[in-house]
Amino acid sequence: MNNVLMIMNARNLSAFKECVNKLNISKVWFKGYREFELNDEINKFIQETNFDNYFIVSDDLVINKKDFEFLEDQLNYYPIVTGWGVWRQNWDWTTIHLQNKIHTFNQGDKLPIFKKHYNIVKTYEIDNMPDVIETAFTGWFYTGIRRDIWLKYPYQTMSIKPWMPGASTDAHWSKRILKDNIYKQICFKQARVLHLSYSGKDYEDLDFTDKQIITDFI
């Protein structure tokens, strides 16, 4: 298969760069963009290229090369695959969310509230989970998605607060997948991702005027 990794890269985190540079996959770096500024850019990239599958990741997530290769291989069997991790360092909330609550959520374009509408798997519950898990949320934790699904469910932010022009692309994308109930979002217990989990404050001093899209195809 011919795959590509789309990297939402506003920060310059050495651990992330070291990890990604070890992955034997074509890459495209979206540098200097806020999340909402990527609506057009990511969708345009997918439309104008012809990879089989498009992985997406934020710039504070570190994965073992072997586990990433495992995720790539699973795209032979599932159209949507993802790794998992914790929301913040020292938290026990994982990005694996079971679906027995989310189906009760039906409030237009609003986002679900995690504590209320998701059944969040905790770190201490992981050992008792199956190796293959259907999740209600991916978090963009090295999430691989087939091209035709991206075209049907494009990258899209939500204006969740008046002062925030757009965010939460991961939750919004998963919500649309759940609503249509055509595809399953499959998470694999072995594909744990280290979340460096820097806070939003890391963005306050960044220069978002120097925007670049850098391709590194193999």
- Say which residue the tokens 């079971």 belong to: 98
Give the Cα separation of 155 and 151 in Å (integer).
9
Strands 80-84 and 185-192: parallel
No. of helices (H) and no. of strands (E), the chain: 6, 12
Full set of structural domains in the chain with CATH: 3-216 (3.90.550.40)
For 114, the token pair is 């995690």
- Taken in order 167, 169, 170, 176, the sign of the CA dihedral is positive
Q: Write out pLDDT tens, residues 63-76.
A: 999 999 999 999 99
Structural tokens at position 165: 């022009």
pLDDT digits (tens, 9 = 90+) for 112-143: 555 555 678 998 999 999 999 999 999 999 99
Q: Determine if the pTM surpasses 0.85.
A: yes
Q: Which stretches of the chain score pLDDT less than 50?
A: 100-108, 163
* Residue of 195, 191, 193, 189 lying closest to 70 (CA atoms): 191
CA–chain centroid gap for 209, Å, is 24
Q: Are 72 and 3 in contact (CB under 8 A)?
A: yes
pLDDT at site 115: 53
Rounded to 5 degrees, φ, ψ at 102 are -65, -30
